Structure 1
Amino acid sequence: MKKTILTMAFMAIAITLSSCSSDSLDSNSYAYKVRMTDAPGPFSEVNVDIQAVEVKGSNGQTVLLNTNAGIYNLLDFTNGADTLIATSTLSDSRVNQIRLILGSNNTVVLDGVTYPLSTPSAEQSGLKLLVNQTLYADIDNSILLDFDANASIIETGNGTFKLKPVLRPVLTAISGNIIGSITPVGTLAMVTATSTSTLLFYTSNVDAEGNFRVTGLPPGTYTLTITPLSPLLPVTQTNVVVTAGVNTNIGVIAF
């Protein structure tokens, strides 16, 4: 079984949560935004069927958000673009879990051909993400959900593809990003940032304009590798320092 190497854009979900229940933990209201992101890959469309979004607080209460259900082309949302797909209210000061419920109408388009993107029933019933996030009144609370398509789209052979979503929550206030670009523009390439201390790695892809952004990195020192399609050779930069809340710009990489 072979994993297709790509990184997709996912839609950003801005979810506002405020006071609604008299038996909740407190009476404050909390503005809350949940975003999903990544960079485009070789597919011309990646269509995901979003049916519902739920959140669960520390008191165990589950809130089914008012979701704009539908099929979203993930590649429409890249390089910081986002779209509002759900809203609701919550008075609990913590969000312990976010749950995305998918439908069955998921597809990918490759070289002008549309292929069904099969989704295991467990993923359709709900992608559960533990976030354990404390909310604060009168500020813009936010969280980034990084959709790692390099690990999420699996080519199973004979023109069939499986969606096995891999997402990780990222608290933007305590993480940083690596940004940059490559030349010549139009070169397909994957970007990998590997932590020199933990050996964990994070991936993204170069977009059509030659730009890339590896998001949600814990502060530390990284080795960055840009791997283009053959016959071009990979380029590596070492000792790239990431600071919380900062975009580390490595400039233009030439092939």
Structure 2
Amino acid sequence: MLRRPFLYTALLAAPLYFASCSKDNDSSDSSKLEVRLIDAPGDFRAVVLDVRQIEVHTKEASSTEGWYTLPFQTQAINVMEYVNGKSALLTNTDFSPGTLTEVRLLLGPDNYVIGRDGQRYDLKTPSGQSSGVKLKLDNVTLRDRETYQLLLDFDVAKSIVERGNWKPNNDKKERYLLKPVIRVVAQDIRGGLRGTVTPTAALPQILAIRSSITVADTFSTSADAAGSFQLGGLPSGTYRVEFYPSTNAPSGQAAYKNIIRNNITVVNDQTTDIGQTALN
């Protein structure tokens, strides 16, 4: 049984249909669980997480029993590399059918960012909290001979908080706090959006906002060097897609614009191509 301190993360709402941990090595009556990590981008060159361990809980949240460790090799992951449809595979393992109630991501002390200035800034964890990220699930069940995917969407912009009183001549280790915000996406939510944005020099950022529900879900990514973007794991619905530049146009050129496209439909198991969008 594992008993470690942890911090609770803020979670964006999403339907959850997940898998439970295999409690033994008997594969005659088993399913598979795959855990992946993706990123909602932020204003950094790199964001490196020191991922040490992944655990799942098969009992009620109040129980200290039923925690199991997934097969995983400790690694440093630059989450900024996993946008635009890319994901980091953390583990893929056999599981016995059953219930999964929580997932916990354990982080080591060597988390840091590389800022736009090229400088490294260590990420501090707020006093009184550990670097364990605990994600609550809604008593989901793994069925025999099925494969499920847990997609952990790490929101860089919300997870890394700059201290308000920090100044450039202060200790670099004191600039940023790590307060992980992770959205969990179910394997059976497989809608998507893709397209292209110009000019690429604008370093375009993209928000997809599901406007067909009372409390809107927001998903984000950035365009790659060719101007292409892709968002996966989107629930079906009607979306407002917002495009905005993350830099200014060169002197003498027309200013870049923020663009909004409404009434974009996303359907499960399909990727909606919305074509090209120009920011000038």
Which TM-score applies when normalising by structure 2?
A: 0.74
Out of 219, 230, 235, the position equivalent to 2:236 is 219
> Could you say what secondary structure the match of 1:75 adopts?
helix
Letter in 2 for 1:130: K
Which structure has the larger Rg over C-alpha atoms? 2
Pair 1:119 & 2:135 matched: no
Pair 1:75 & 2:80 matched: yes
> Could you say what secondary structure the match of 1:205 adopts?
strand
**For residues 84 and 176 of structure 2, what CA distance do their matches in structure 1 show?**
25
Letter in 2 for 1:115: Y
Counting only pairs closer than 5 Å after superposition, residues 1-255 of structure 1 correspond to structure 2 as 18=22, 20=24, 28-38=29-39, 40-58=41-59, 61-86=66-91, 90-110=95-115, 111-120=117-126, 124-131=130-137, 132-156=139-163, 157-158=166-167, 160-196=175-211, 197-209=213-225, 210-229=227-246, 230=248, 231-255=255-279
Compute the displacement of 1:165 (Å): 1.0
Letter in 1 for 2:98: S
**For residues 71 and 34 of structure 1, what CA distance do their matches in structure 2 show?**
16
Compute the displacement of 1:136 (Å): 2.3
Compute the displacement of 1:19 (Å): 5.6
RMSD over aligned CA atoms reads 2.8
Letter in 2 for 1:181: T
Question: Partner residue of 2:251?
Answer: none
Compute the displacement of 1:215 (Å): 3.4
Q: Cα deviations across residues 159-188 of structure 1 (Å, max 9, x unaligned)?
A: 512221111111131352222220112422
Structure 2 unmatched runs, 5+: 1-18, 169-174, 249-254
**For residues 162 and 109 of structure 1, what CA distance do their matches in structure 2 show?**
14
Question: Partner residue of 1:8?
Answer: none
Q: Cα deviations across residues 12-59 of structure 1 (Å, max 9, x unaligned)?
A: xxx99546179xxxx721101111213554422211111111011247
- Identity within the alignment, %: 33
**For residues 203 and 87 of structure 1, what CA distance do their matches in structure 2 show?**
25
Compute the displacement of 1:205 (Å): 2.9
> Could you say what secondary structure the match of 1:221 adopts?
strand
**For residues 147 and 50 of structure 1, what CA distance do their matches in structure 2 show?**
13
Which segment drifts farther, 40-49 or 102-111? 40-49
Compute the displacement of 1:68 (Å): 1.0
- Does the 8 A contact of 2:97 with 2:141 survive in 1? no
Which segment drifts farther, 82-91 or 165-174? 82-91
Q: Do the aligned partners of residues 204 and 188 (structure 1) sit closer, same or farther apart at CA in structure 2, a change above 3 Å counting? A: same
Which segment drifts farther, 89-98 or 75-84? 75-84
Q: Do the aligned partners of residues 42 and 150 (structure 1) sit closer, same or farther apart at CA in structure 2, a change above 3 Å counting? A: closer
Q: Cα deviations across residues 107-141 of structure 1 (Å, max 9, x unaligned)?
A: 11122211111123666342111233321222322
Q: For this pair of structures, how many residues does the alignment match? A: 238
Q: Do the aligned partners of residues 90 and 61 (structure 1) sit closer, same or farther apart at CA in structure 2, a change above 3 Å counting? A: farther
